[in-house]
């Protein structure tokens, strides 16, 4: 509805000489409500040269991107050479790859051209739980028009990472498949893959076998960790459960070496450091941005107020900073502000109902939820949400346990509050909030107690990272099993950490484990 209102605003600004554009507004609003695939309307508004209306329509298309229409939108953006559609083309293609398992079951998937499907399947960043899913999608696409598409198996099968499948699956489901058997080129490819599985040394020989068949695909996202004291940036690859050092202290700006107790967010290919301080009486309003593509630092416009140990999050392309320590008397704040990267400017929003430091926040359903924290020498169990459309904060049912230094994330449509301290000890407990019923319920306890940890959602799991007690520990929660498990543990020196999840970068390989062939499994 808000998008319709925005289109109506642009409609009312148009002059009578732009009657055709006015008609477009009505047609475009009907298109959104009808959810059809008539993307030609975007071409019409471009011809009217009404930039504000064009941007609004772009935003609407992007917001309505889903598994059922992403392929049609991607195909549409490839046809028209409109500058504003270049980013939409990237967004749609990234959405296809990141949600491939669901997209491959939709009707639009069966309408792809052969080369379009090959381009998708060949992406290192294609997100699939099992490589057999990619193979099955190829068969589904071919069987939709078998007489016309059987020959495409020679183009599509090399895009499937056969070497990542079980040998028994290849023998039973690929080698003996009728489409594969009737295509000599594809049958040879499968036979060669099975040979390598039996003799891994062939990968290093001059056999001519495509090593890509045995390479893991890149993860769709990685966990980026910034350490307070060592000033190193490291990335956690969940597919290999390994860490990669990305950036180290010597290359940081000299003026940044004092930063402690800051907050971090990921937005638009950049890693933001917001606020900092060495002690209660020395908070900072400075903001730094690290470009994850160019590996360069840049100081951005400062916040309106100096603060640190505040809570930060991203909502619809803007950064929000809430609470934190004051700069005059060391007490906590309830003020909040918003950063718009397109104009590099911070502005105040409505203040929270509570003063909060060391609280934690997240976003869900176009709202910001902030929970717990410390205020006036007491640990808080209160929680509230911010609605950017009304610029209002609303208190919700308090948590069952007072917590500060906790982790809060949106997960499976609920708000999870994990760990933290009740003022006397670190907590293993966790609880979750259902926004529909406005109630909290208990979640299984973590394996460990964590101090100065951070939390994020990645690969449909909650990840908790800490570098305390001379150990680096990563544990995750999986809703399918309703359990926590440790996925990484190793000796390390104590440090405070901040984390965020990064995705969609053109150079994602730099933040992942080395992209090399794995040792084939030889068991049948």
Tell me, what's the pLDDT at 346? 97
User: What percent of the chain shows pLDDT beyond 90?
Assistant: 51
Mean pLDDT across 299-323: 93
Q: Work out whether strand 296-300 and strand 360-364 pair parallel, antiparallel, or are unpaired.
A: unpaired
Higher pLDDT, 520 or 318: 318
Kindly indicate the confidence band of residue 200, based on its pLDDT and cuts at 50, 70 and 90.
confident
Q: Which of 227-231, 284-288, 312-316 is most confident?
A: 312-316
Kindly indicate the confidence band of residue 327, based on its pLDDT and cuts at 50, 70 and 90.
low
Tell me, what's the pLDDT at 340? 95
Token pair of 218 as six digits: 């890149």
Mean pLDDT across 31-45: 44
Tell me, what's the pLDDT at 13? 56
Higher pLDDT, 190 or 255: 190
Tell me, what's the pLDDT at 227? 81
Tell me, what's the pLDDT at 470? 84
pLDDT one-digit tens code per residue, 82-132? 666 777 888 899 899 989 999 999 999 999 999 999 999 999 889 888 899
Tell me, what's the pLDDT at 30? 40
Tell me, what's the pLDDT at 506? 82
Tell me, what's the pLDDT at 29? 40
Tell me, what's the pLDDT at 512? 85
User: What percent of the chain shows pLDDT beyond 70?
Assistant: 80
Kindly indicate the confidence band of residue 28, based on its pLDDT and cuts at 50, 70 and 90.
very low
Contact 433, 381 (CB under 8 A): no
| CB within 8 Å of 383: residues ≥ 6 apart | 369, 370, 371, 372, 395, 396, 397, 398, 399, 415, 417, 433
Look up the pTM and report it.
Answer: 0.77
**Domain residue ranges in the chain:** 112-214, 219-252+451-507
- As a whole number, the mean pLDDT across the chain is 83
Residue 26, φ and ψ in degrees, nearest 5: -65, -45
Tell me, what's the pLDDT at 121? 96
Tell me, what's the pLDDT at 12? 55
What angle separates helix 51-63 from helix 19-34, to the nearest 10 degrees?
A: 0
- Adjacent-strand bridge partners of 271: 266, 290
Mean pLDDT across 260-270: 84
Tell me, what's the pLDDT at 112? 96
How crowded is residue 79: how many other Cβ atoms within 10 Å of its Cβ?
11
Using a 10 angstrom Cβ sphere, with 0-12 exposed, 13-18 middle and 19 or more buried, the burial of residue 405 is buried
Contact 154, 183 (CB under 8 A): yes
Kindly indicate the confidence band of residue 53, based on its pLDDT and cuts at 50, 70 and 90.
low
Tell me, what's the pLDDT at 36? 41
Mean pLDDT across 450-462: 92
- Adjacent-strand bridge partners of 393: 386
Q: Which CATH architecture has domain 112-214?
A: Alpha Horseshoe (1.25)
DSSP-assigned states of every residue in 281-312: T-EEEEEEEEETTTTEEEEEPPPSS---S-EE
Residue 302 pLDDT exceeds 80:
yes
Of how many residues is the chain composed? 524
Tell me, what's the pLDDT at 364? 96
Contact 47, 40 (CB under 8 A): no
Kindly indicate the confidence band of residue 207, based on its pLDDT and cuts at 50, 70 and 90.
low
Kindly indicate the confidence band of residue 81, based on its pLDDT and cuts at 50, 70 and 90.
low
Kindly indicate the confidence band of residue 403, based on its pLDDT and cuts at 50, 70 and 90.
very high
Contact 446, 484 (CB under 8 A): yes
What is the distance of C-alpha 84 from the center of its chain?
A: 23
Residue 3 pLDDT exceeds 80:
no
Kindly indicate the confidence band of residue 174, based on its pLDDT and cuts at 50, 70 and 90.
very high
Mean pLDDT across 40-58: 55
Mean pLDDT across 25-33: 41
Kindly indicate the confidence band of residue 309, based on its pLDDT and cuts at 50, 70 and 90.
confident
SS3 of 167-221: HHHHHHHHHCCHHHHCCHHHHHHHHHHHHHHHCHHHHHCCCCCCHHHHECCCCCE
Mean pLDDT across 429-458: 96
Higher pLDDT, 438 or 522: 438
Q: Which residues of 343-367 are buried (b: 16+ CB within 10 A; e: fewer)?
A: eeebeebeebebbbbbbbbbbbeeb
Torsion, CA 153, CA 91, CA 313, CA 449, rounded to 10 = 10
Mean pLDDT across 203-219: 73
Tell me, what's the pLDDT at 54? 62
Q: How far from 230 is each of 223, 249, 361, 439, 492, CA to CA, in Å?
A: 18, 7, 26, 40, 12
Mean pLDDT across 159-186: 94
């Amino acid at each position: 509805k808000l998008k319709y209102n925005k289109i109506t605003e642009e409609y009312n600004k148009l002059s009578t000489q732009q009657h055709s554009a006015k008609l477009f507004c009505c047609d475009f609003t009907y298109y959104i409500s009808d959810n059809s695939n008539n993307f030609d309307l975007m071409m019409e508004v471009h011809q009217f040269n009404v930039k504000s209306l064009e941007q609004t329509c772009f935003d609407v298309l992007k917001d309505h991107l889903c598994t059922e229409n992403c392929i049609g939108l991607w195909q549409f953006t490839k046809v028209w050479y409109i500058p504003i559609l270049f980013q939409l083309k990237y967004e749609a293609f990234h959405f296809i790859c990141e949600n491939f398992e669901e997209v491959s079951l939709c009707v639009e998937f069966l309408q792809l051209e052969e080369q379009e499907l090959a381009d998708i399947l060949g992406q290192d960043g294609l997100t699939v739980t099992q490589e057999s899913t990619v193979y099955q999608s190829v068969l589904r696409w071919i069987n939709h028009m078998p007489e016309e598409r059987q020959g495409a198996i020679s183009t599509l099968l090399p895009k499937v990472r056969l070497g990542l499948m079980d040998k028994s699956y290849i023998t039973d489901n690929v080698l003996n498949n009728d489409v594969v058997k009737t295509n000599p080129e594809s049958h040879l490819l499968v036979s060669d893959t099975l040979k390598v599985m039996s003799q891994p040394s062939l990968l290093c020989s001059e056999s001519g076998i495509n090593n890509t068949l045995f390479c893991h695909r890149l993860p769709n996202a990685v966990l980026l960790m910034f350490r307070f004291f060592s000033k190193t940036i490291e990335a956690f690859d969940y597919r290999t459960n390994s860490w990669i050092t990305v950036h180290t202290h010597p290359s940081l700006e000299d003026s940044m070496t004092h930063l402690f107790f800051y907050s971090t967010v990921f937005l638009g290919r950049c890693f933001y450091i917001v606020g900092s301080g060495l002690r209660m009486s020395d908070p900072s309003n400075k903001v730094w941005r690290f470009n994850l593509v160019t590996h360069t630092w840049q100081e951005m416009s400062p916040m309106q107020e100096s603060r640190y140990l505040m809570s930060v999050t991203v909502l619809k392309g803007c950064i929000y900073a809430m609470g934190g320590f004051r700069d005059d008397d060391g007490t906590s704040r309830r003020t909040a502000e918003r950063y718009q990267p397109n104009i590099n400017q911070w502005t105040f929003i409505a203040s929270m109902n509570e003063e909060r430091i060391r609280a934690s926040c997240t976003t869900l359903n176009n709202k910001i939820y902030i929970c717990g924290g410390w205020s006036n020498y007491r640990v808080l169990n209160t929680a509230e949400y911010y609605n950017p459309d009304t610029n209002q904060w609303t208190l919700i049912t308090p948590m069952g346990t007072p917590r500060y230094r906790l982790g809060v994330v949106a997960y499976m449509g609920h708000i999870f509050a994990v760990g933290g301290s009740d003022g006397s000890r670190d907590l293993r407990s966790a609880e979750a909030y259902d926004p529909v019923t406005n109630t909290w319920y208990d979640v299984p306890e973590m394996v460990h107690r964590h101090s100065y940890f951070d939390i994020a959602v990645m690969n449909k799991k909650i990840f908790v990272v800490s570098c305390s007690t001379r150990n680096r520990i990563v544990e995750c929660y999986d809703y399918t099993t309703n359990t926590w498990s440790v996925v990484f543990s190793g000796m390390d020196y104590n440090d405070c950490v901040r984390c965020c999840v990064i995705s969609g970068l053109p150079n994602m390989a730099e933040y992942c484990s080395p992209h090399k062939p794995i040792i084939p499994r030889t068991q049948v």
